[in-house]
Amino acid sequence: MPGAMTTNVMGRWLLLISASTAIAAGCGITENMPAPPAMVTFRLQNDGTQPVYLSQNCLIDYTITSLTAPVHGITRVDGCACSCGLTGCSVCGACAHGALAVPVGMSQNDLWRAVDVTQESTPTGSCVREQKLSIGPYRIDVPVYASEADATALTGARTATQSFTLPESGIFSVDVALGVSP
């Protein structure tokens, strides 16, 4: 169930953030410890009169753009990427590609950790390095499809767009209207 999986992932992030803060406080190192990246829940809401579909291939398909000059896209990566700080990484299976239905009046939540990702070459392949994003204006653009077939084939999309301001850290949500509202 997609909602349960998103809630489970969010719960793990909250537990990790709480544990890290408690450990740091217990060691007396809270003053110079940088704030963790913001955690954003995008509530992709169908406010229209017809079901809509999103495309997903490991991640729900959408783009995030920093609106601070120079305007630039933010790279997202799924949870299977190998971090450059690790000595070894697990092998992940293939992601299922398909359509995700969002019925009228319903929403699909997607959790995003506010980091940009760069990929680096290594002797055994590649790894990713994360950089916490700065506070400021950003935009999410979500391709929305009228049918499951269109979402699977990636044809005939229109774009739902929402601007938001990213805080220094913390957990917050951004509503994105997917339907065609009157």
What is the per-residue pLDDT across 15-70, written as a single tens digit (0 to 9) for each?
A: 444 444 444 444 555 567 888 999 999 999 999 999 999 999 889 999 999 999 99
Q: What is the pLDDT of residue 108?
A: 97
Q: What is the pLDDT of residue 122?
A: 77
Mark whether 70 and 154 lie in a shared domain: yes
Q: What is the pLDDT of residue 19?
A: 43
What is the per-residue pLDDT across 149-163, written as a single tens digit (0 to 9) for each?
A: 999 999 999 999 999
Confidence of residue 125 (pLDDT cuts 50, 70, 90): confident
Give this prediction's pTM: 0.77
Q: How confident is the model over 77-106, as a mean pLDDT?
A: 81
Mark whether 86 and 23 lie in a shared domain: no
Domain of residue 15, residue span: 1-33
Whether 182 maps to a domain, the answer reads no
Mark whether 55 and 144 lie in a shared domain: yes
Lowest mean pLDDT among 21-30, 81-90, 101-110, 136-145: 21-30
Confidence of residue 5 (pLDDT cuts 50, 70, 90): very low
Average pLDDT, the chain: 82
Least Cα distance to 2 among 125, 98, 83 occurs for 98
Mark whether 83 and 13 lie in a shared domain: no
Mark whether 83 and 18 lie in a shared domain: no
Mark whether 102 and 132 lie in a shared domain: yes
Q: What is the pLDDT of residue 28?
A: 53
Give the count of alpha carbons within 13 A of 15, CB side only. 6
Mark whether 146 and 173 lie in a shared domain: yes
6 token code pair: 């998103």
Most confident of 4-8, 33-37, 109-113: 109-113
Tally the domains of the chain: 2
